[in-house]
């Protein structure tokens, strides 16, 4: 039996089905992402696991026990929200200690665990700062430390990095994965960011309109998408007679599919070309190797 087992979990709001018979197994120590566009049911699923929403039907078991029968505060889960939800009148140390206080952890043990959690997220020197005096990345680390200090059975992350700028988000992804591997905490991340899910996860669960489209490793989901939705949601794709070809797999050649460059778009590390062909518009991604890009209107051949 899996550590966390979700069986035919459903959430209805009247006639609207937000989550439709989702079944999923998560092993202990695994990092999985619920990935999909807005409204696909990923946050609703996370909130049912946390106990913030009641399920309409279905079951959730944790280590063989019925989780739906346990009040949220007693489920032993750590949650990090998109907004961080820090107490503004408390220092970083006090914010992290709050969960332990609610659980009756006292004295030296509480102080030691708070210090340990702040050191884990590289914030020991900011322990006495208030959230208003911290950057977004520092506040995110405090929220993570507060969730981890209770030693949760599962860590639930609801778009925790979405408020950070791109460069800081990338750095936090590396830190978050490192912390998770160090602790071995079973982690479920909700995100709409495909790159984030693929960078962090052991497996991704791709959701669409309340249903699971595919459960796979990031590599397999990208290279072998199970449905047309997955092929288009995970990165760019070219659909030719029902077969998807990734833009970075296509090259300019001396023979092959004939086309004309419609647009040349610079994206820093690479060039994105739109090429008109008899089979429709094809996207091509080529690495920025320092050579001049092809001009719009250039006749080309495409191969893969």
Are residues 137 and 192 located together in one domain of the fold? Answer: yes
pLDDT tens for each residue of 130-143: 999 999 889 989 99
User: Does the pLDDT of residue 82 top 90, yes or no?
Assistant: no
- Tokens standing for 97? 């200690």
Note the pLDDT of residue 253: 93
- Among residues 123, 119, 144, 148, the alpha carbon closest in space to that of 134 is found at 123
> What is the count of structural domains for the chain?
2
pLDDT per residue as tens digits for the range 176-203: 999 999 999 999 999 999 999 999 999 9
Is 19 part of a structural domain of the chain?
A: no
Last residue of a domain, one of 198, 229, 260: 229
Contact 28, 21 (CB under 8 A): no
Residues 165 and 82 in one domain: yes
Q: Which of 229, 263, 283 is the last residue of a domain?
A: 229
* pLDDT score of 88 more than 80: yes
What CATH number corresponds to the domain at position 205? 3.40.50.300
Q: What local confidence, expressed as pLDDT, does residue 241 receive?
A: 66
Same domain, 151 and 83: yes
Residues 113, 77 within the same domain: yes
Instruction: Identify whether 57 is part of a domain.
Output: no
Same domain for 162 and 43:
yes
Full-prediction pTM beyond 0.85?
A: no
What pLDDT digit, counting tens, does each position of 59-80 carry?
Answer: 999 999 999 999 998 999 999 9
In 119-269, DSSP assigns E strands to 154-158, 186-191, 203-208, 211-216, 238-240, 243-245, 251-253, 257-266
Q: Are 110 and 97 in contact (CB under 8 A)?
A: yes
Helix (H) or strand (E) holding 37: none
List C-alpha distances in Å: 231 to 9, 189, 225, 299. 25, 21, 5, 28
Structural domain of residue 288, as residue ranges?
237-303
Judged against a pLDDT cut of 80, whether residue 243 lies above it is answered with no
In a domain, 9, yes or no: no
Q: Which of 229, 263, 282 is the last residue of a domain?
A: 229
Residues 35 and 160 in one domain: yes
Nearest to 160 by CA among 179, 136, 130: 136
Q: Is residue 277 part of a domain?
A: yes
Q: Does residue 75 share a domain with residue 191?
A: yes
With bands split at pLDDT 50, 70 and 90, how would you rate the model's confidence at 242?
A: low
């Amino acid at each position: 039996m899996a550590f966390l087992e979700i069986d035919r979990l459903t959430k209805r709001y009247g006639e609207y089905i937000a989550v439709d018979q989702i079944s999923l197994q998560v092993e202990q120590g695994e990092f999985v992402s619920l990935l999909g566009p807005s409204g696909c049911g990923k946050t609703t699923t996370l909130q049912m696991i946390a106990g913030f929403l009641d399920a309409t039907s279905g079951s959730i078991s944790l280590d063989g026990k019925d989780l739906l029968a346990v009040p949220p505060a007693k489920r032993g889960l750590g949650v990090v929200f998109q907004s961080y939800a820090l107490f503004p009148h408390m220092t970083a140390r006090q914010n992290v200690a709050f969960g332990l206080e609610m659980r009756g952890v006292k004295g030296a043990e509480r102080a030691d665990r708070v210090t340990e959690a702040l050191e884990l997220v590289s914030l020991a020197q900011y322990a006495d700062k208030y959230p208003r005096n911290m950057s977004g990345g520092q506040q995110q680390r405090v929220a993570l430390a507060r969730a981890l200090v209770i030693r949760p059975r599962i860590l639930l992350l609801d778009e925790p990095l979405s408020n950070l700028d791109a460069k800081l988000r990338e750095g936090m992804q590396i830190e978050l994965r490192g912390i998770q591997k160090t602790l071995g905490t079973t982690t479920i991340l909700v995100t709409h960011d495909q790159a984030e899910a693929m960078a962090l996860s052991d497996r991704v669960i791709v959701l669409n309109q309340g249903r699971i489209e595919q459960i796979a490793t990031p590599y397999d989901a990208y290279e072998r998408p199970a449905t047309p939705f997955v092929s288009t949601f995970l990165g760019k794709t070219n659909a030719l007679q029902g077969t998807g070809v990734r833009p970075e797999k296509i090259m300019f050649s001396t023979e092959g599919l004939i086309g004309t460059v419609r647009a040349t778009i610079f994206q820093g590390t690479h060039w994105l070309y739109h090429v008109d062909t008899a089979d429709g518009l094809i996207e091509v991604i080529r690495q920025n190797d320092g050579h001049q890009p092809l001009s719009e209107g250039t006749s080309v051949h495409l191969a893969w």
